Amino acid sequence: MCMSCGSLSVRPSRRTVLMGGLAALAAGTLPLAAQPADETVDPDAALQRLLEGNARYVSGNRTNTDFSAGRAERALSQRPFAAILSCADSRVSPELAFDQGPGDLFVVRLAGNFVSDDGLASLEYAVNFLGTRLIMVLGHSNCGAVDAAIKVVRDNIELPGHLPEMLREIKPAAELALASGGDVLNTAITENVRLGVSRLTTAQPIIAGQVASGNVKIVGGVYDLATGAVGLV
């Protein structure tokens, strides 16, 4: 309550601020423009940079340890060379696993690392406005979300809340793994990554066009919790 005027002072919610910003963007009142592709880091070079960083992480020879360096410059803009669609698992940290510093990676995280509509929009933003050249769908060993999807399909169990909506996106991978037999969990984890890569590769109207022109590459990987190594799939 404002004591001098007798009116309430209401702090806008984050959603209100976000919606206002998007409205301003749509109206052309924000200085946001699509970034050209960064020709100094092509998709293959970006992938190599990730793999070399992961090798340093696995060997314990990380080079990115001072995260305060360059903070003032990063406040002005960002130009991440790669985007990672990762699981929200607390044991998986893409910036650490690939030995990259702040501003290098554009990370989208959600349990099960599947391509949701919101996640897709974030990745479209990275490609269209930040000039990101590489997107990796990153699964990981012993994924609880994928294991839950297997149990839902195999045992017909029901889960509470919004969990069924999440697992609905992962169930196709679980079904493929159960049909093939063998190591069902690891197969489902790999298939879930492959399905994510396929969806992003054909995601209209932004990412598919960039992939077709060679400006953007979509790859899949699986992070091993025990060793820290990322293997491409």
What is the distance of C-alpha 120 from the center of its chain?
A: 9
User: Which pLDDT score, from 0 to 100, does residue 75 have?
Assistant: 74
Domain 36-232 fold? Beta-carbonic Anhydrase; Chain A (3.40.1050)
- 75-111, pLDDT tens digit by residue? 776 899 999 999 999 999 999 999 999 899 999 999 9
Flag whether pLDDT at 179 surpasses 70: yes
- 203-223, pLDDT tens digit by residue? 999 999 999 999 999 999 999
- 132-143, pLDDT tens digit by residue? 999 999 999 999
pTM above 0.85, yes or no: no
- Which secondary-structure segment (H or E) carries 208? helix 207-212
User: Which pLDDT score, from 0 to 100, does residue 7 have?
Assistant: 40
List the end-to-end C-alpha distance of the chain, in Å, as a whole number: 58
Q: How confident is the model at residue 32 (pLDDT cuts 50, 70, 90)?
A: low
User: Which pLDDT score, from 0 to 100, does residue 67 have?
Assistant: 66
Spatial CA neighbour of 78 closest among 47, 100, 50: 100
Distance (Å, whole) CA 55 – CA 6: 62
Cα angle, residue 224 at apex, residues 218 and 225 outer, rounded to 5°: 130
> What phi, psi does 230 have (nearest 5°)?
-110, 125
- Percentage of the chain beyond pLDDT 90 is 73
- 154-178, pLDDT tens digit by residue? 999 889 999 999 999 999 999 999 9
